Structure 1
Amino acid sequence: MKNIGVLTSGGDSPGMNAAIRAVVRKAIFHDFRVWGINYGFAGLLNNDIHPLEIGDVGDIIHRGGTMLYTARCEDFRTKEGQQKALQNIEAAGIDALVVIGGDGSFRGAQELTKLGVPTIGVPATIDNDVPGTDFTIGFDTALNTVIDAIDKIRDTATSHERTYVVEVMGRDAGDLALWSGLADGAETILIPEQPYEMEDIVHRLIRGNKRGKKHSIIIVAEGAASGVEFGKQIQEKTGFETRVTVLGHIQRGGSPTASDRVLASRLGAHATELLIEGKAGRMVGMLANEVVDQPIEEALEASHQIDNHMYRLSQELSI
């Protein structure tokens, strides 16, 4: 094996570039050639493959997004699409592949491994919803972006004595909402993993108002409720002036934090090491601050679990 390919797939996340850099430089250090695939699995189907040298990944460790671009590819889900990708991989002389992305990207990596292409997955998604790792690349940066936004919103909420509903990303996982809510002292946090009672939320808001509380912050994960609709309900049921902020894709962008740069560097390098050792069909991760790896199949069969203790703590501290 002398040629390693690398691609990024699914939603972009800060730190993907740092992971690409780690794969490229670790491989070249060990005398391997590296090939970049643009636009994820779509690039495999379209043969959008090019060599990557040391200088190509210079000055990218601090940049958000991904220099290899990313896209979702429905055609790759088909057997025909996978065979076409395999043909292009073989034609390019690529012996093994590193796939950087979320669980959907890992399913693609698993299929390539089944077809005989040794593949390693590197978890990168701001949702932090990939089992087998404490943190995914991009989560810390997105979390700090959310916290910075909430801090600014709180200033306005205090000045005008308003209730603010802030909708954050998290269609199926509430980590961004939970962590940012706890970090910013939100009165209420809505996440997909936990049901909620509107009456309880209204009661908490009214109770806080009666004891002289000047404002309230409610964090809503997009998978738990629509921030706009939830804000309307809050205003109707409490009579409090309520504003809604939907943070949207601002959460995906920006320069990665030091934590994400280090995490991406460690995971990208370990993924390359596994391929050099002849291993395949695995994902890398971080557990208790140790770099680990496990079969991708095990990660895909597991389900993401929210930290229920942290959720209860957020409720206890927001009385």
Structure 2
Amino acid sequence: MLGTKRTLPKGFLESIVENICTYGIPALLAIGGFEAYEGVLQLVEVHGHYEELHHHVNNIPGTDFSLGFNTALNATMERCDRIKQSASGTKHHVFIVETMGGYCGYLAMVTGIAVGADAAYIFEDLFNIHELKANVEHMMEKMKTDMQRGLVLWNEKCHDHYTTEFLYNLYSSESKAIFDCRTNVLGHLQQGGIPTPSDRNYGTKLGVKAMLWVLGKLHEVYHKRWVSANAPHSACVIDLKKAVAFSPVTELKKDTDLEHRMQWEQWWLSLRPMLKMLAHYCISMTA
């Protein structure tokens, strides 16, 4: 537990190299979020300028399923269920819930499917005022049925101008007094808590896999008193996909949106139609 802040190594390379030499560090296992990946990438990209950095083996968890997501999803789902439960004794309430996740809408969308949300607005699926209006009209029609409460999820950075406050004002204004709106910003309530069994098991598996991989690479590149590790596979991300795998950080760069801190292509967007089906929109299976 180093207590470090989100500071990338680019401006401190001389100090990093000095410490590597001072303490004889042969390998580096970076555990963290996007900064960990970007930090490792910066170290790899300056291999040619610092011979000492050729002695590094780097790897971090991430990709399709990041460690801790399952715990955050459970926390978000639990709070949304509580919000829906609190509304069960009243009618004509629409709750607008803002989730965390940066520019990545995975948490908002998967939670939406799990709790039966009426809509989940995310950065990856562009929307406009016409779609927002259609959602409000759909909500008004829903209020005429036995299900007289609504839940809308809103990813924190899904739009520069259509904010949580804007959405609240829009739904409130267009509801024509048929329903009233409430907002709930979950914020850091989604973080921390007790890790789920899935995350605990994945954490153990990743730790073992990572250390075995690091040791194996050190044995491959060890030459008497030094380690020479400057090949692409000497700096990898440990992936959670269909199976645990290792991908060179340099190869992942072309697939990464560094500005928005996520992958360019999101496999889970194919699940979007399922959300609308559960909310009783008229949509086909091939949409």
Q: TM-score, normalised by structure 1?
A: 0.71
Q: Distance in 1 between matches of 2:145 and 2:139?
A: 10
**The one of 180, 188, 200 aligned to 1:241:** 180
Corresponding position: 1:150 with 2:150 = no
| Structure exhibiting the larger radius of gyration computed from Cα positions | 2
- What's 1:159 paired with? 89
Unaligned runs of 5+ in 1: 1-66, 124-129
Unaligned runs of 5+ in 2: 48-52, 218-232, 257-262, 281-287
User: Would the alpha carbon gap of residues 70 and 159 (structure 1) be closer, same or farther in structure 2, given more than 3 Å must change?
Assistant: farther
- What's 1:93 paired with? 24
Q: Distance in 2 between matches of 1:227 and 1:70?
A: 31
For 2:193, what is the secondary structure of its paired residue? coil
Residue 112 of structure 1 and its aligned partner are, at CA, apart by 2.6
For 1:73, what is the secondary structure of its paired residue? coil
For 2:120, what is the secondary structure of its paired residue? strand
Identical-residue share of aligned pairs (%):
28
**The one of 190, 194, 204 aligned to 1:265:** 204
Residue 117 of structure 1 and its aligned partner are, at CA, apart by 3.9
- What's 2:7 paired with? 73
Residue 110 of structure 1 and its aligned partner are, at CA, apart by 2.4
- Please provide the CA RMSD for this pair: 1.7
- What's 2:245 paired with? 292
Q: TM-score, normalised by structure 2?
A: 0.79
After superposing on structure 2, the runs of 4+ consecutive aligned residues of structure 1 that deviate more than 6 Å are none
For 1:170, what is the secondary structure of its paired residue? coil
- What's 1:276 paired with? 215
Does 1 or 2 have the higher relative contact order (CA < 8 Å, sep 6+)?
Answer: 2
Aligned residues: 241
Q: Distance in 1 between matches of 2:37 and 2:55?
A: 14
Task: Answer whether contact 1:99 1:120 (CA < 8 A) is retained.
Answer: yes
Q: Distance in 2 between matches of 1:195 and 1:188?
A: 13
- What's 2:227 paired with? none
Task: Answer whether contact 1:235 1:241 (CA < 8 A) is retained.
Answer: yes
Residue 86 of structure 1 and its aligned partner are, at CA, apart by 1.6
Task: Answer whether contact 1:110 1:119 (CA < 8 A) is retained.
Answer: no
- 1:75-118: CA deviations, max 9, x gaps? x222xx11211211221221110001223311211233423242
- What's 1:230 paired with? 167
Corresponding position: 1:174 with 2:108 = no
**The one of 187, 190, 215 aligned to 2:121:** 190
